């Protein structure tokens, strides 16, 4: 993707346009420990999920004890979706648990429930989502979700 001054893409502030892409591949059963992305990617993280869904878990970190964290909730990253993380959510720890199957008790438990596709809601209603490796055939039908202002948690 090339972004220049004439780009119609207004997602990124002019002073913080992306200048690189980091590609991570996670196979079923793999994940990444909870972390923050620091100033390198500030003020916005954009994550594209291609081969399979995954659950991105968010945590508040205890400022007096960095080893203690409290779960805030999870975002279901649908296959072929883009999630943008900004605002308070950018400051939170986020990670992907190492597991092959995600157990989801209800759609209401997901922070991005209002942005999920009908097919994702139907899958969640079955209670289990198996992470699978698949080869995307196109980007058509992809979805976008902006995840930011967690300070107002009443809307989740």
Q: Taking the domains of the chain in order of start, what are their residue ranges?
A: 27-155
Which of the four pLDDT bands, split at 50, 70 and 90, describes residue 1?
A: very low
Q: What is the chain's length?
A: 156
Contact in structure between 49 and 142 (CB atoms under 8 Å): no
Output the six-digit token pair for 124. 């969640």
Class of 27-155 per CATH? mainly beta
Instruction: Give the model confidence (pLDDT) of 95-154 as tens digits.
Output: 999 988 878 878 888 888 888 788 778 777 766 666 665 454 444 454 444 555 443 333
Q: Average model confidence (pLDDT) for the chain? A: 74
pLDDT attached to residue 149: 44
């Amino acid at each position: 993707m090339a972004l220049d001054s004439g780009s119609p893409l207004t997602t990124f502030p002019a002073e913080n346009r992306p200048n690189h892409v980091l590609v991570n591949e996670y196979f079923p059963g793999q994940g990444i420990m909870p972390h923050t992305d620091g100033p390198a990617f500030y003020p916005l993280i954009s994550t594209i999920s291609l081969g399979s869904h995954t659950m991105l878990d968010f945590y508040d970190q205890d400022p007096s004890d960095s080893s203690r964290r409290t779960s805030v909730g999870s975002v279901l990253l649908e296959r072929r979706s883009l999630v943008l993380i900004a605002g308070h959510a950018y400051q939170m720890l986020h990670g992907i648990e190492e597991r092959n199957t995600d157990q989801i008790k209800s759609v209401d438990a997901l922070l991005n429930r209002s942005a999920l596709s009908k097919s994702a809601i139907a899958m969640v209603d079955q209670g289990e989502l198996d992470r699978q490796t698949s080869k995307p055939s196109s980007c058509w039908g992809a979805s976008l979700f902006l995840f930011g202002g967690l300070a107002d948690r009443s809307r989740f």
